Chains A and B, each alone.
Chain A
């Protein structure tokens, strides 16, 4: 699970060009959107793309996906349960 979390962090950093940030800088519990990492709705779409390309998880409605993206922990739980 820790490996998956680090992997997700690196994929997010790569996809969003978050220079100056390493996986270690991202707290597993901290909010990804808003105050935490400061991601926004376009970034949410990029994360959906990461899930599709790397884990075979398809999400049709970006709005519904929002709670899953609360933190690295919630995202990793979701990926672990749904990856193909």
Chain B
């Protein structure tokens, strides 16, 4: 007998520039209050400012969750974690700048005994974390997952976005003809995702999906097609028709290009008539927290039958029509779509349903997977399928150039960071002679130091060399960019998901890759370890497929 379960959204808590609490935030948004300032909290001797924000929201949703059970997980979503503590020297092992270390510190503070899962996937991190939680619960790995997200407003990120000339001097105005950039914000959020109906607050996480543009590492797709595909897949899983979508809470950063791309995607998905809003004018772009915080508010909108107005919106300024309004709208609710897009070309969409309109989902049975190709790089040795292909005594740069000259010339290679070069070169070996369509492949990678190597470059330009922030350096300060480069080069449009962990032996990424294959989402998953920090590197990636392929 095929078992089926529902995945419920339980307690939610958020802390934004508007204040603490989902209800408080929701009511202030309805009244048109803007909260783009920093949250009033400081670090104490024990925990950083961000950790304290996270601990506070977790404490709010934790009651009723067994923090000592192996059936409980904690899943973190953040882009930069404790980056405010970064200096110009490489932080030592054990420093709270490492994302997994930050997550462990927070887990300890809230009494969670297991090992945290950390997603760092640019601005879609929060949506990815909820989709991942839904999939892990649906597959029976856990009963309850506390998803927690957070990112701070720091000089590190602000200087980068300023260099990108994407920050507006006014509160941002998504989808408006006069929009001229985003507003940065900061937030922490926590939501419970559970298979236990008793923990439900009336909302089901019905489906979710991710995709990659395979177009550009910072600029969004020119067609919007990959985001549209993610939305279609998210709705297709639970079999929800366009007519039953009540509203869309989009990313809506108010940069010219993002909103343009979204308008195209929403039209391709056939949702252009649905009420659509962006919450960024109220709380700013809260980066790795944004997806999570906005899911919490979207759930509130579903429950109350209200679509919050998009403050500052006057005249539509997107190439394709959208149903945006500055006014709050009363809507009959069934399901809503929440979407996000980010650097590295990544897109994510999740569908939330009112419980009475939800359907249970079949639990997938796990299939065996096999490795088609494997590539390893370490200590000047590159091996493919167990055979030594390149051996070098030189430093990473020389070694990488040597490997590069054996492959196709692509001038973009020289602009990449070392971590991207490594993943890029290795993937060319692993994907060689494999026949696939764009949505046949997903990439799931993990490492230990996230993008710390690139973070140091971005920070040293400013703090050591006293130069202005470089946009080309800043764009690489996210670990998922390496997968973006691989996706562009190879035309891969499946999901590109990045996890940060303390050890190469952590099987979470591989287990997730196996789950993706078992569910039949992809024919192939490129997965493995991609770690590089200050010249020390280790890569071990595999192309996996099901035994039937």
On chain B, the residues within 8 Å of A62 by CB distance are: 165
Most buried by A among B216, B217, B414: B414
Chain A residues 35-59 with CB under 8 Å of chain B are 38, 40-43, 45-46, 48-49, 52-53
Q: Which of B411, B467, B472 contacts A45 (CB 8 A)?
A: B472
What distance in Å separates the Cβ of A54 from its nearest Cβ neighbour in chain B? 11
Q: Which of A38, A45, A49, A60 contacts B412 (CB 8 A)?
A: A38
Q: How far is the CA of A46 from the CA of B461 in the complex (A)?
A: 13
Q: How far is the CA of A57 from the CA of B203 in the complex (A)?
A: 54
Chain A residues 7-42 with CB under 8 Å of chain B are 15-21, 38, 40-42
On chain A, the residues within 8 Å of B475 by CB distance are: 42
A interface, CB within 8 angstroms of B: 15-21, 38, 40-43, 45-46, 48-49, 52-53, 60-63
CB of B200 within 8 A of chain A? Answer: no
What distance in Å separates the Cβ of A71 from its nearest Cβ neighbour in chain B? 18
Q: How far is the CA of A18 from the CA of B416 in the complex (A)?
A: 10
On chain B, the residues within 8 Å of A53 by CB distance are: 467-468
Q: How far is the CA of A53 from the CA of B414 in the complex (A)?
A: 23
Q: How far is the CA of A62 from the CA of B219 in the complex (A)?
A: 13
Given known pairs A38-B411, A61-B165, the reply for A46 and B216 (CB within 8 Å) is no
Given known pairs A41-B219, A45-B163, the reply for A15 and B472 (CB within 8 Å) is yes
What distance in Å separates the Cβ of B394 from its nearest Cβ neighbour in chain A? 15
On chain B, the residues within 8 Å of A60 by CB distance are: 165
Given known pairs A45-B472, A49-B471, A53-B468, the reply for A17 and B163 (CB within 8 Å) is no
CB of B198 within 8 A of chain A? Answer: no
Given known pairs A41-B216, A41-B219, the reply for A46 and B470 (CB within 8 Å) is yes
Q: Would you call A49 and B163 a contact (CB within 8 A)?
A: yes
Q: Is the interface of A mostly helix, strand, loop or mixed?
A: helix
On chain A, the residues within 8 Å of B163 by CB distance are: 45, 49
Q: How far is the CA of A37 from the CA of B131 in the complex (A)?
A: 40
Chain B residues 217-257 with CB under 8 Å of chain A are 217-219, 256
Given known pairs A42-B218, A45-B165, A62-B165, the reply for A16 and B468 (CB within 8 Å) is no
Given known pairs A18-B411, A38-B411, the reply for A49 and B256 (CB within 8 Å) is no
CB of B432 within 8 A of chain A? Answer: no
CB of B164 within 8 A of chain A? Answer: yes
22 contacts between A and B (CB under 8 A): A16-B415, A17-B414, A19-B401, A21-B411, A38-B412, A41-B216, A41-B219, A42-B217, A42-B471, A42-B472, A42-B475, A43-B472, A45-B163, A45-B165, A45-B471, A45-B472, A46-B471, A48-B165, A52-B468, A53-B468, A60-B165, A61-B165
Most buried by B among A21, A45, A48, A60: A45
For B405, give the chain A residue with the smallest CB separation. Answer: A20
On chain A, the residues within 8 Å of B412 by CB distance are: 38
What distance in Å separates the Cβ of B217 from its nearest Cβ neighbour in chain A? 8
On chain B, the residues within 8 Å of A46 by CB distance are: 470-472
On chain A, the residues within 8 Å of B218 by CB distance are: 41-42
What distance in Å separates the Cβ of B382 from its nearest Cβ neighbour in chain A? 20
Chain B residues 382-423 with CB under 8 Å of chain A are 401, 411-412, 414-415
For A60, give the chain B residue with the smallest CB separation. Answer: B165
Q: How far is the CA of A19 from the CA of B400 in the complex (A)?
A: 13
What distance in Å separates the Cβ of B255 from its nearest Cβ neighbour in chain A? 11
B164-177, CB under 8 A of A: which get 1 and which 0? 11000000000000
On chain A, the residues within 8 Å of B470 by CB distance are: 15, 46, 49
What distance in Å separates the Cβ of B235 from its nearest Cβ neighbour in chain A? 32
What distance in Å separates the Cβ of B481 from its nearest Cβ neighbour in chain A? 11
Q: Would you call B414 and A19 a contact (CB within 8 A)?
A: yes
